[in-house]
Amino acid sequence: MRVLITGGAGFIGSNLAKELQSAYPKAKIWVLDNFSSGHFKNLLGFKGEVITADLSEPTLWEWLKRNFHFDVVFHHGAITDTTVMDQFKMLRVNADSMRFILDAVLAWKAKLIYASSAGVYGNSPSPMKEGEGEFPENPYGFSKLMMDRIALNFMEENPHIKVVGLRYFNVYGPGESYKGKTASMVYQLYKQMKEGKRPRLFKWGEQRRDFVYIKDVIRANLLAMERDVSGIFNIATGVARSFNEIVSILNQLLGTNLEPDYFDCPYDFYQNYTQADITKAREFLGYEPQYSLEEGIKDYLKYL
Give yes or no for a cis peptide into 139 (omega within 30° of 0). Answer: no
d(CA 12, CA 7): 8
179 is catalytic: yes
Characterise 42 by phi-psi region: left (phi > 0), alpha (psi -120 to 50), beta (else): alpha
Q: Do residues 116 and 168 make contact, with C-beta atoms less than 8 angstroms apart?
A: yes
Q: Taking the CA atoms of 243, 249, 251 and 253 in sequence, report the sign of the dihedral they define.
A: negative
* Total number of residues shown for the chain: 304
Q: Do residues 76 and 104 make contact, with C-beta atoms less than 8 angstroms apart?
A: no
CA-nearest of 85, 88, 11 to 43 is 11
d(CA 138, CA 245): 26
Q: Find the catalytic residue in 140, 172, 187, 190.
A: 140
DSSP, collapsed to helix, strand or coil, labels residue 76 as: coil
E strand map for the chain: 2-6, 28-33, 49-52, 72-75, 111-117, 163-168, 170-172, 200-202, 208-209, 211-213, 231-235, 241-242, 261-263
Q: Find the catalytic residue in 179, 191, 280, 298.
A: 179
Q: Under 8 Å CB-to-CB from 234, ≥6 apart: which residues?
A: 118, 128, 129, 130, 167, 169, 276, 277, 278, 280, 281
d(CA 2, CA 143): 28
CA angle 108, 155, 23 (to 5 degrees): 55
Q: So which residues are the catalytic ones?
A: 140, 179
